[in-house]
Structure 1
């Protein structure tokens, strides 16, 4: 019998797949327009790149060879196709690009627009089919009051129609604000033209979030606006709704041509996340999951999380394991809770199927940074938590005596819990080591959570029994495969 985090492998053998290669492949005459071949060639030639990495999501790999061939012919540069990415395909895979010594990356398809620092990046979003008139009609139906202030957000694959949508609506809706795509430029002199953007920007507060920017008019606040999203239901929409949780949301799905008011209960979703924050306060051992190796400042937030956990009297381990799944995380039973460091669209992981819960860096901050209070605001971008970020709150290391005296009551179990590092551990950890002298009463298992967990298990692996097992000469074993060895007789 299998469980949620183990398998006998049978489903891998018997599962079936549907192939839709002919339906998804772009027609040759449309490649130049869909993949912006001319703009990409200009970018490569202008910056004199000789080695270029082309990163495609799985759904666009069918066109990758044709696109690479066109770019090589036009530029003379060597193209490397990056297929399966180590983490989410929305993030730029700088690690794989450096393996081929690429000088820049061309990222195709949907993206979270998270900034990178090591290599220059050009984004080619592609162009999904959309009925502009149907989208405008859906907007009018959802917002019959023409004076209501509305911010229009959209999936990046529909960026090219936003100028046309604004022209249709601006005469009827004077308070509509169109967002613009403006990813953070990684290298000077490499700013890109991402298409037509509205020219008449009102004067007011500039808001920049997730590679997009829009202006809130003077006298208005973000919570005074409704938000109209163009795109399919998914991680991007969920990210916007959690971040701007004080706004009402409506959406238009270009695939189904259906507009609707989003009915997800944000307060209920926030309370679920707050429950995980209380679980974090009860946890003793944390696993920090590196869910990205390309987003800028990921090492800084990992160091910050380590400091938070250590000051709270907890232990932490760092895991780098690529794409997450239930069986991977179920291998580490000594971990009480995981913290995922990833881009905003991949941070809100539904961990209901996982053996142990997975939280975000912001939720760990709420749990252990005593200077930060829960206000209902939710931060999915971990860079906002670092110094200089929009949501940065100073984390102060308190003195040893105050740390020892603090206690707290768990809202889940009702028991007292320690909220600081024990005095013995503080002194033992000064040298960044869990080892102690022999004449002290503490043992390694008391300071190292993995060793402590192993000491409590009834089965601890095979016993080595050094010196007890006789040494025998190696002999030739069977040949063949398990189903039929060569020395077996057919029955």
Structure 2
């Protein structure tokens, strides 16, 4: 066969231009259902009406004490994912109303006239850096500057102080639904918006659900739908025991909505003030709740524990539902798991709420006093994959917002149980008692920690006397875990171990001054410095504990080819993935052969 007829074998699959092209994503138009925009209506007019931008602009026009410069110079606008589609329009309209510099399409495309930094001409690094510094100086030295915060660090209902600190903001305006929890230090304001609700269908659904005119019902909704509650009550004047759960502008001003003035004796709970109730929050157990929109799972679980029955109204399809709701009895099981856990991970799911640091310190102190170990984690937005990386953690205690920041694992997706600080306090107490409450307020948790610390002073004196007298104590006794039905001895790794002696076989080689001798010795010990090493115990239970552990069981096997010295170290491939050294050598040899 002639050499010209030879065809090189195919060493790979067929490749064409489509193989190296990026997959195209079909971009579908996202309808702004919250605006209820009709084909003949103006989009900007709806934006002004929905967010009440005139009042927002008037709030930003406030001057400082001297009356010269704006009171808030660096303003951040925080939008949730559902409203981020309006962020550009809101920011641009606020800039126009306030008389700030607005980037137009012409200035963005015409490099010769409008742009300070060229987008079509190549500049040197030195020139581009100078232009960037000049642009940054222009931004920070302007009378007032607006930034948009879209991707929140934690829950979208909370004020994102972490993102606002990146631009040294002195004001944050939060758009959309909000939890209204107290913020630690950054001044903020809220803009709920005014979503459209069919009041007639809402009244019909309410009357169909409660035909009795003397029914005790509390009207409540999320923050954006609160404005409709007063109109709803006017349409239900025949109901004599109707209570409205209204928001209250205590910690920060609310723009676009003016809450009704409340009396000093009115009931305040769940970040709401209840007009018509002057009793304590226990009175809510005698009332049904009619809630507009379906809240998030943590908030819904909190509402089901406070009210007699919860009915949800969906304003999108004008339907009502009464379940299924999160089950509180599963929390009782998690409390028993927390009681038997030896290592507890404190998962911080917020950095902006007030009293966060105090709660962390109080919970950590309680865990240590209970003889357990703890670690503090800040992983951003938690998910199953992130928490699964920490295999040594027996149980998680999450600190977050009561609306969206608390993880309620209804489908058993997480590998380890997740409890709240209040549930952990109940589990760490001497006598396990189930209150059936869902307490997530940091102030209430701090008061519980303070009460328990006062009660434990006498117990600490009693335990100290037992140690001095040498009397017997049940601290080292194994604990029965009702979840697994077994006894566990690792529930208190920080307990006193005066009687526990760690013995190892005498080995003359272990006395050699080897740098790895201490590591090998401690890796086999389950107790260090009179405390149980949970990490060492966890490492011993693993099938693979590091390099060389695969051959550990072959040391005493005479037929195995186990070599204690290990394999010889060889030099690996050099270079990067697109061209290793041996690839370049083969390519050069092939080119010389072809020549």
**Are 1:249 and 2:310 an aligned pair?**
yes
* Alpha-carbon distance, 1:480 to partner: 5.3
Segments of 5+ residues of structure 2 without an aligned counterpart are 1-21, 36-42, 64-70, 101-143, 468-472, 499-521, 549-563, 591-595
| SS of residue in 1 equivalent to 2:452 | coil
Give the Cα–Cα distance (whole angstroms) in 2 for the partners of residues 249 and 441 of structure 1: 51
2:229 paired residue among 152, 156, 162: 162
CA shift for structure 1 position 450: 2.9
For normalisation by structure 1, the TM-score amounts to: 0.80
Aligned to 1:31: 47
| Whole-angstrom CA distance in 2 between matches of 1:102 and 1:93 | 11
1:350 corresponds to which of 409, 420, 427: 409
Q: Alpha-carbon deviation of 1:92? A: 1.0
Matched, 1:286 2:344: yes
Q: 2:534 aligns with which of 444, 449, 455?
A: 449
Cα distance in 2 between the residues matched to 1:15 and 1:357:
40
Structure 1 position 454, deviation (Å):
2.8
- Structure 2 residue 460 is the aligned partner of structure 1 residue 394: no
> C-alpha displacement at 1:348, in angstroms?
4.1
Q: Distance in 1 between matches of 2:390 and 2:526?
A: 28
Partners in 1 of 2:584 and 2:317 — Cα distance?
A: 56
1:56 counterpart residue number? 79
1:181 counterpart = 2:252: no
* Whole-angstrom CA distance in 2 between matches of 1:61 and 1:392: 42
Partner residue in 2 for 1:331: 389
Deviation at 1:423, TM superposition (A): 1.7
Counterpart secondary structure, 1:97:
helix
Query: 1:132-161 deviations in whole A, cap 9, x for unaligned?
Result: 111111111111111122111101121221
TM-score by length of 2: 0.67
- What residue is the counterpart of 1:479 in the other structure? 578
Aligned counterpart for 1:114 among listed residues 181, 187, 203: 181
**Aligned pair partner of 2:443 in 365, 380, 383:** 383
Report SS of the residue matched to 2:153: coil
Deviations 1:391-431 (A, max 9, x none): 97433444245795346532223444567641249xxxxxx
- Structure 2 CA distance for aligned equivalents of residues 247 and 341 of structure 1: 27
CA contact (8 A) 1:230 1:253 kept: yes
- 2: CA distance, partners of 1:471 / 1:383: 61
Aligned length: 452
Alpha-carbon distance between aligned partners in 2 of 1:486 and 1:478, rounded to the nearest angstrom: 15
Change (3 A) 1:147 1:339: same
How does 1:27-426 map onto structure 2 within 5 Å?
27-46=43-62, 48-75=71-98, 76=100, 77-169=144-236, 171-185=237-251, 191-192=253-254, 195-198=257-260, 205-217=266-278, 221-232=283-294, 234-235=296-297, 238-244=300-306, 246-260=307-321, 262-264=322-324, 269-345=327-403, 346-350=405-409, 352-370=412-430, 373-387=433-447, 393-395=451-453, 396-397=455-456, 398-399=459-460, 400-401=463-464, 405-406=474-475, 408-417=479-488, 421-424=494-497
Q: RCO (CA 8 Å, sep 6+): is it higher in 1 or 2?
A: 1
Residue number in structure 2 paired with 1:8? none
Contact 1:286–1:337 under 8 Å retained in 2: yes
Q: 1:184 to 1:91 in 2, by over 3 A?
A: same
**Structure 2 CA distance for partners of 1:17 and 1:240, relative to 1, 3 Å:** farther
Secondary structure (helix, strand or coil) at the match of 1:89 reads: coil
Contact 2:349 2:400 in 1 (8 A): yes
| 2-structure distance, mates of 1:166, 1:33 | 23
Q: CA separation of 1:22/1:175 partners in 2, compared to 1, >3 Å: closer, same or farther?
A: closer
Structure ID, larger Rg: 2
Q: Alpha carbons of 1:18 and 1:441: their partners in 2 closer, same or farther (altered >3 Å)?
A: closer
Shift of 1:288: 0.9
